[in-house]
Structure 1
Amino acid sequence: MKRDPLPGLTTAAPARGPAPRTWAWPTWKQVWFQLHWFIGITAGTVLVVIGLTGALLTFRDELTDLINPGVRHVPAEARPMLTPQQAAQAVRMAHPERRVTSVIVYSEAGSAARVGLAPLPGQARGESVYVHPYTGAPQPELAGDAAFEWIEFLHRWLLLPRDTGKPVTGTLALCLLGLALSGLYLRWPRRALDWRAWLTFDAHLKGRPFLWALHSVAGTWALVAYVIFTATGAYWAFESVRGTVDGWAGVQRPAREAVGKKVKAPGAAKGPPADLTPAWNTFTQQAPDWRMAFLRFTDKPGDPVQIAWLAADAPHPRARSRMTIRTDGTLAKNEPYAAQTAGARALSTIYPLHVGTYFGLPGRIAMMLASLALPGFAVTGWMLYLKRRRQARAARAERARLGQDIPAALGVAPVLVAYASQTGQAERLALRTAAALQAAGTPADVRSVATLTPADLAGYRDALFVASSYGEGEPPDGARRFTRLLDDSAATLPDLRYAVLALGDRGYPHFCGYGLALDARLAALGGRRLFAPVEVDDGDAAAIARWSAALACLGAGPLGGCIADPATDEQPWQSWPLTGRTLLNPGSAGAPLFEVVLAAPTDLHWQAGALVEILPPADGTAGSLSPRSYSIASIPADGAVQLLVRQVRHAQGLGVASGWLTEHAAIGATVTARLMPNPAFAPADADVPCIFIGNGSGLAGLRGHLRARVTAGRHRNWLLFGERSRAFDTLCAAELHRWADAGFLPELDLVFSRDGDGYVQDRLRQRGATLRAWIADGAVLYVCGSLQGMAGGVDAALAELLGRDEVDALAAAGRLRRDVY
């Protein structure tokens, strides 16, 4: 009795609710993950503001000079530059009512002196006046300086009062540290000692993997900068931290009240100004290699001149030496930077580290880029977060639909549908799978693998696993415990029949790594595959349709219905003689393509579209190698298994399997092989029109279908096939034209790209009207060939011609079947 096929995975009506969701303790990684996201979506926006303002301040001096050419730097002249006394006197003459408190001079020719004035009543600090280094004329006020002051106020205190803003920005600094360290833990790669795993980025990724890789790799590059930002920021923000660090360094700072008292000095001068000439003469004798000198003084008789200065060979801009010189020129104290305590020197590096000047121009550029990256982290983080939320909402919706009350078949054992999900996509697909099963009368228990143990699997006869891969083919966080238990289990599962839907992204080196590893481990424990793992590349709808079509084969009731069919049972490995090998494209610019003939056992039967797994011989270094799959280009009536094998050549030489089959194995040699079902590419059940689309060695799967349909007398066939050159790549041309002449190929489109025909997808667009007519007549589409290029191009062309919803509907109904690689 023929069973009704299962509906596609879009079927919403389930038979009964899922098994109760068993709660499991979250792993440390899950805890850190939630912490990372929580901090990111709460503090992230403000951190963006701090990052952008910090980036602007990193090159404040250069931006100021760009806006104000000729103010702080003038063309160098042959005459001497002003002394501090001359610069101070010039400002006193321009502002006789104000008291001069400091002078900064530079040894670099053309650098203007900077003279500081005492603050007026009500001011926190006084202004600075730049003086022409040769004429003494006051320079124009700096345009944009007030804007930079506002930006610095925003950066340091978020425009809040100082006492309030400091702990706020300090707390945000700690949040950035939490984001950096938790991100480091979350992305810890499997190959932790390989620098490429940490620092390289694959630009070919797309979708969520692209965002995740960009977010995590850029975060690793910026990690050191963020640790420096947060450590130095916390030092300034929290008095307790600053006091502790100063204590460790052995440095005592004056109380804040005392500092405040000094800045409240009146703005008008009360006595004759101090003469700086004797002190300056002494300084230049003691420090002939000075680069910058900052003189501070009062008008009180007897007060010395304090000079903080920078040597030409100073290791960083805050490596300042200090002198105290009396007004008569007597040296009272000399403290070279090298003679200061190690603690004092360490404290002097805090600001240069924060802004990057400690490492010169490269350090400043690195800190600026790290600051500018914060908006990027916020954007990519929000995109990943919102996508995760959408996946979670979709999963909740699927669970709600799965809970609707539709009667299940009585006396039918439930199928376990287990998922290992990182973002929610695997959970959603598992729920849709359960809905499709239950709509056909088969009850399903939907469970996360986080709640399962190997002993639980023994309680089911049939199990379907939807498994995402995380990072470099690793299990999702919630699946780590189950994976560890399964790897350590000594029990066998001889009664378990299973299938795996593996989710991944081909941009990663370990595509669908966890799903394939799970499949292999279940097989090693004695489980029997219902069908080969279905690999999904970045949510590819056609691959999910293959899963749907494979489930449709299983029918209503228990999944054992298909197990008895030899075409879907996993066959044992056998030795098949190699009886023929023919080069099909001599002279082609492409790699050689061979027809390989294997003498399969006479009692072996298969459906068109089935696969053969070939076990390559051991290569002497790696031992036994993993099997390679090839589409069968023949039917059982041909009396042999025929394959179309493209010879693959790497830098190390020929591919192991293709090289063995096409060159190394002698005619008559035995090949270790076995038949593998391919239900997602199975023949159509009825005499409906069929459209076959492919390129290259993909002709193998299409040729098997065409031979079966010709043998069955089914005429409504259309082949669109692409290769390089008509002169050298007309594969199986005699057979194809013979079928066309006999009426079995009323539509035959052979497309040769190097002859100016374009590609298969281009011909498909040109024949859009015919395509729509065939689809309206119930045609089934088969696509076989390379995933990169052809399959993607055909999918895009179908979406343009039919609409994406119609393409998805065809896939869900089993009318779009793909076998791509």
Structure 2
Amino acid sequence: MKRDPLPARSPSPTPIPARRFILPTWKQVWFQLHWFIGITAGTVLIVIGLSGALLVFKEEMLDLVNPGVRHVPVQNAPALAPQQVADAVRAAHPDRRVASVIVYSAPGTAARVGLAALPGEPRGESIYVHPYAGTIQPELAGEAAFEWIEFLHRWLLLDRETGKPVTGTLALCLLGLALSGLYLRWPRNAGNWRTWLTFDTRLKGRSFLWALHSVAGTWALVAYVIFTLTGAYWAFDSFRNTVDGWAGVKRAPREAPAKPVAHGPGMQKARPAPVDLAPAWNTFVQQAPGWQMAFLRFTDKPNAPIQVAWLPADAPHPRARSAMTIAPDGTLTKNEPYAAKSLGARALTTFYPLHIGTYFGLPGQIAMMLASLALPGFAITGWMLYLKRRRQARAARAERARLGSLDGADGALALPGLDPVLVAYASQTGQAERLALRTAAALQAAGTPADVRAVATIAPADLAGYRDALFVASSYGEGEPPDGARRFARQLADATQRLPHLRYAVLALGDSAYAQFCGFGRALDDRLAALGGTRLFAPVEVDNGDEAAVTRWSAALACLGAAPLAEAPAADEAPWAQWTLAGRTLLNPGSLGAPLFEVRLEGDVLHWLPGALVEIEARHAEPVVQAWLAQTGLDGKARAGSGTLAQLLAASELPDTSHRFPSAQACAAILKPLAPRRYSIASLPADGAVELLVRQVRHEQGMGLASGWLTAHAPVGTTVRARLLANPAFAPVDSDVPCLFIGNGSGLAGLRGHLRARVAAGRRRNWLLFGERQREFDALCAGELQRWAADGFLPELDLVFSRDGEGYVQDRLRALGDRLRAWIADGAVLYVCGSLQGMAGGVDAALADLLGRDTVELLAAEGRIRRDVY
């Protein structure tokens, strides 16, 4: 459990940059590719998606706006045969050649006649004929609009030869978006369908957008793969020929449109007699008793065969057509049933039904329409996420520029004739630094120069050079100074030089949940007073980031002529979100120590740096709440706020049972929420989940609240309210320098994330010094550590087991003093994670003995010793 008193908001200014999002190289490439395609091709894909959604139900919409045209009332009379239908059209259009007839077995369905294209035209016209009367049906209203929509969808209103490769390329872009999105959100627990297909609708902001974008993309993934592959098949002739070759299908070359033929004066083109369809139709009906649709194609050339493509009543999909070739005299010359086609040829017939969804009937059409309509949603959410990232990047650059202008080697932002005010900060998590910057900006806005410095960069003697000094000081652990301020605190405690000329004020940051609330800030104020300094005003104490206290600080600064502090910049921790307790594994069965579990939380917010923290709202176990209710006599099912009293009690500090409440509402009114607990994250975003190492704590009253809830009481699948927190003081090194990782027990969590990131980045200069009780039972994550060692990523691996007589971590560190000094000389950064009172304190003393206290404090001030202790 992490006991850092302040939330992590911004990085501390160490010489080694700490804010870098570490991902495997390929993931970075795919991430950038996904965003680039999305913001470039996304707009055009919206057009293709919306037009495709309209075309899915084209036939149904045409029937809706054209009642009585393609479907007429059923009559107690036989439907016209193809020959009769063709004769009716020839009588109405004597100057046109009939090229095809389509008839249906379903009663009341109009026949469709195709007229041959006129010379110079790409295709002919279609005419619907009344199936009983033989009259010509009215033209379909809206058909021209749908032809325009199809033209837009297939070729983007370009000519065919230009539009095909453009839409084909866009189809491949959509495929790239779908597959890269799948890769980017691939979770470690890929077998859990909930991880793929559900998300918490109560999420807000960027978390909600990302969850909606990624989960909806998973739902539509299959549809987009179908869209893109079938679209590419029709768009690229080379791709189509290749697929046809695999399927064993050879297609005839496309015929060019007929050209007008010039006739001399007085010449008249002889028209051949129309073919008689009756003999061929009789043969077809005999050979295909279960037909539902027959498509007859023919010419008027003498003895030219009649081609019949027909659909059986039991066809698996609308394009599963059989074929016959019949001579004009009714002789069957070729019969090609669908079932007799090759597997590849049958597969090719599924492309169009799959593309529009009719392969799966009405549910398939609805699914494809929704997937098409979702494309604008993906573009909108993608753009919103992209713009939010841009805004965050601009804000980060502005903050860095502001820091560079206020804090640097060039000293104060001096104005002529005015002495600068020293604004010194001691920051562990970055909050003190940010408040110092706001303070300096308020001074500068009023024309008062400010010299912003971390206390790690100054000595007590430097205070003699200032008339006014403002200190923003956070406390770490049980009232200790932050790591970077330890050297200054010790020097100030030992200082003998008095400071009678110094006027000062202290803004102390802390958390009242700890016994030594604002311990370092109070000690700093007392020591400055003891050295003769004069308080500008009484110390201002900030409890856990309370902005009301910051407002009091702002008002007090008026004595220096400062303007009001600017509004606080948005915190960069993730918002509270709903996560799922996906699993827990006991890592040390049989251990003499308390059980240690690996706890896995799954959610949609998967962005953090190695060394980050997760803050969790724990709950009382159900038996604890019920026991309290039984002692007080209150009804846990009574409404209290937005839930029941029992639900509210589970998330609150339980009052003394001796107190009697008149009602559940009276009890609810005085309840205080439980303080959230913090844990080091032992995994990386690429692992697909937040993994924790949680030691089960026990005391006289029973099991610890948070550890008991996570490791025993909460069932797997429970929703956990949590948020990610940056931990800049324990952030990764942004260069390939040697790193020494020191820890014990559950402190391995904070070290494992760093090691995983360095292994993923190919950085091999790593040393792990880790302690536990017994090698037989407490060799935590042994397989992973040994694999890294074998692969050369952990050349120095020292595991110390105290109950096996091997001593403690600090003892092994002392024994390896020469190696430690060599690593430090080579620029190594030390990470320490574990218990403050045991291991961390011992390691601190060992480092002081081996390197000297001044060197240790200097390393801490330079950011080369980074601690996450509790």
Which TM-score band applies after superposition, normalised by the shorter structure?
A: 0.5 to 0.7
Deviation at 1:154, TM superposition (A): 0.3
Rounded Cα–Cα distance in structure 2 between residues aligned with 1:326 and 1:350: 31
Rounded Cα–Cα distance in structure 2 between residues aligned with 1:430 and 1:44: 43
Rounded Cα–Cα distance in structure 2 between residues aligned with 1:145 and 1:437: 69
Deviation at 1:462, TM superposition (A): 3.8
- Deviations 1:147-193, CA, capped at 9 Å, x for gaps: 00000000000000100100000000000000000000111123211
Q: Does 1:595 align with 2:656?
A: yes
Rounded Cα–Cα distance in structure 2 between residues aligned with 1:283 and 1:358: 26
Task: Name the CA shift for 1:178/1:538 in 2 (closer, same or farther; >3 Å).
Answer: closer
- Are 2:119 and 2:258, in contact at CA under 8 Å, matched by a contact in 1? no
- Say which SS state the counterpart of residue 385 (structure 1) adopts: helix
Report the aligned-residue RMSD: 5.0
- Say which SS state the counterpart of residue 68 (structure 2) adopts: coil
Amino acid at match of 2:248: G
Amino acid at match of 2:130: H
* Structure 2 partner of 1:290: 291
* Structure 2 partner of 1:744: none
Alignment of 1:684-763 (within 5 A): none
* Structure 2 partner of 1:72: 70
- Pick aligned residue for 1:172 from 155, 170, 173: 170
Q: Does 1:507 align with 2:570?
A: no
Deviation at 1:351, TM superposition (A): 1.1
- Deviations 1:783-817, CA, capped at 9 Å, x for gaps: xxxxxxxxxxxxxxxxxxxxxxxxxxxxxxxxxxx
Q: Which moved more, 1:23-32 or 1:347-356?
A: 23-32
- Say which SS state the counterpart of residue 260 (structure 1) adopts: coil
Rounded Cα–Cα distance in structure 2 between residues aligned with 1:56 and 1:139: 25
Rounded Cα–Cα distance in structure 2 between residues aligned with 1:253 and 1:198: 41
Rounded Cα–Cα distance in structure 2 between residues aligned with 1:612 and 1:216: 29
Deviation at 1:208, TM superposition (A): 1.1
- Pick aligned residue for 2:156 from 158, 162, 168: 158
Deviation at 1:347, TM superposition (A): 1.1
State the identity %. Answer: 63
Rounded Cα–Cα distance in structure 2 between residues aligned with 1:245 and 1:357: 22
- Are 2:83 and 2:278, in contact at CA under 8 Å, matched by a contact in 1? yes
Rounded Cα–Cα distance in structure 1 between residues aligned with 2:359 and 2:403: 61
- Say which SS state the counterpart of residue 77 (structure 1) adopts: coil
Deviation at 1:121, TM superposition (A): 2.5
- Are 2:9 and 2:572, in contact at CA under 8 Å, matched by a contact in 1? no
- Are 1:310 and 1:321, in contact at CA under 8 Å, matched by a contact in 2? yes
Rounded Cα–Cα distance in structure 1 between residues aligned with 2:360 and 2:49: 19
Alignment of 1:55-70 (within 5 A): 55-70=53-68
Deviation at 1:78, TM superposition (A): 1.0
Deviation at 1:357, TM superposition (A): 1.3
* Structure 1 partner of 2:490: none
Rounded Cα–Cα distance in structure 1 between residues aligned with 2:403 and 2:375: 41
Amino acid at match of 2:53: A
Rounded Cα–Cα distance in structure 2 between residues aligned with 1:81 and 1:93: 19
* Structure 2 partner of 1:136: 134
Amino acid at match of 1:595: D
- Are 2:103 and 2:293, in contact at CA under 8 Å, matched by a contact in 1? yes
* Structure 2 partner of 1:35: 33
Amino acid at match of 2:198: T
Alignment of 1:585-664 (within 5 A): 585-588=632-635, 589=638, 590-591=645-646, 593-595=654-656
Amino acid at match of 1:312: A
Alignment of 1:141-220 (within 5 A): 141-220=139-218
Deviation at 1:254, TM superposition (A): 1.3
- Deviations 1:545-577, CA, capped at 9 Å, x for gaps: xx9xxxxxxxxxxxxxxxxxxxxxxxxxxxxxx
* Structure 1 partner of 2:82: 84
Alignment of 1:90-489 (within 5 A): 90-256=88-254, 259-260=255-256, 270-406=271-407, 432=434, 435=437, 441-442=453-454, 461-462=483-484
Amino acid at match of 1:356: G
Rounded Cα–Cα distance in structure 2 between residues aligned with 1:93 and 1:444: 101
Rounded Cα–Cα distance in structure 1 between residues aligned with 2:341 and 2:674: 81
- Are 2:100 and 2:295, in contact at CA under 8 Å, matched by a contact in 1? yes
- Say which SS state the counterpart of residue 298 (structure 1) adopts: coil
- Are 1:505 and 1:538, in contact at CA under 8 Å, matched by a contact in 2? no
Rounded Cα–Cα distance in structure 1 between residues aligned with 2:284 and 2:676: 89
Amino acid at match of 1:82: L
Task: Name the CA shift for 1:69/1:437 in 2 (closer, same or farther; >3 Å).
Answer: same
Rounded Cα–Cα distance in structure 1 between residues aligned with 2:18 and 2:275: 86
- Are 2:325 and 2:334, in contact at CA under 8 Å, matched by a contact in 1? yes
Deviation at 1:508, TM superposition (A): 2.5
Amino acid at match of 2:274: P
Amino acid at match of 2:217: G
Rounded Cα–Cα distance in structure 2 between residues aligned with 1:272 and 1:319: 33
Rounded Cα–Cα distance in structure 2 between residues aligned with 1:614 and 1:228: 45
Alignment of 1:675-690 (within 5 A): none
- Are 2:62 and 2:142, in contact at CA under 8 Å, matched by a contact in 1? yes
- Say which SS state the counterpart of residue 334 (structure 1) adopts: strand
Rounded Cα–Cα distance in structure 1 between residues aligned with 2:162 and 2:140: 30
Task: Name the CA shift for 1:581/1:180 in 2 (closer, same or farther; >3 Å).
Answer: closer
Deviation at 1:538, TM superposition (A): 13
Deviation at 1:353, TM superposition (A): 1.2
Deviation at 1:32, TM superposition (A): 0.9
- Deviations 1:450-472, CA, capped at 9 Å, x for gaps: xxxxxxxxxx94499xxxxxxxx
- Are 2:156 and 2:163, in contact at CA under 8 Å, matched by a contact in 1? yes
- Say which SS state the counterpart of residue 256 (structure 2) adopts: helix
Deviation at 1:25, TM superposition (A): 8.8
Amino acid at match of 1:260: A
Deviation at 1:120, TM superposition (A): 1.5
Equivalent residues, number:
500
* Structure 1 partner of 2:779: none
Task: Name the CA shift for 1:182/1:8 in 2 (closer, same or farther; >3 Å).
Answer: closer
Rounded Cα–Cα distance in structure 1 between residues aligned with 2:696 and 2:269: 89
Deviation at 1:83, TM superposition (A): 0.7
- Are 1:594 and 1:646, in contact at CA under 8 Å, matched by a contact in 2? no
- Are 1:402 and 1:431, in contact at CA under 8 Å, matched by a contact in 2? no
Amino acid at match of 2:200: D
Rounded Cα–Cα distance in structure 1 between residues aligned with 2:253 and 2:425: 75
TM value normalised by structure 1 = 0.54
TM value normalised by structure 2 = 0.51
* Structure 1 partner of 2:46: 48
* Structure 2 partner of 1:519: none
Amino acid at match of 2:240: R
Deviation at 1:26, TM superposition (A): 6.6
* Structure 2 partner of 1:807: none
- Say which SS state the counterpart of residue 573 (structure 2) adopts: strand
Task: Name the CA shift for 1:329/1:400 in 2 (closer, same or farther; >3 Å).
Answer: same
Rounded Cα–Cα distance in structure 2 between residues aligned with 1:463 and 1:198: 46
Amino acid at match of 2:312: A
Amino acid at match of 2:174: L
- Say which SS state the counterpart of residue 508 (structure 1) adopts: strand
Deviation at 1:15, TM superposition (A): 9.6
Rounded Cα–Cα distance in structure 2 between residues aligned with 1:305 and 1:328: 10
Rounded Cα–Cα distance in structure 2 between residues aligned with 1:624 and 1:406: 39
Question: Structure 2: which 5+ runs fail to align?
Answer: 1-5, 263-267, 413-421, 441-450, 458-481, 487-543, 546-570, 584-593, 595-604, 608-614, 616-626, 639-644, 659-671, 680-691, 716-870
Amino acid at match of 1:130: Y
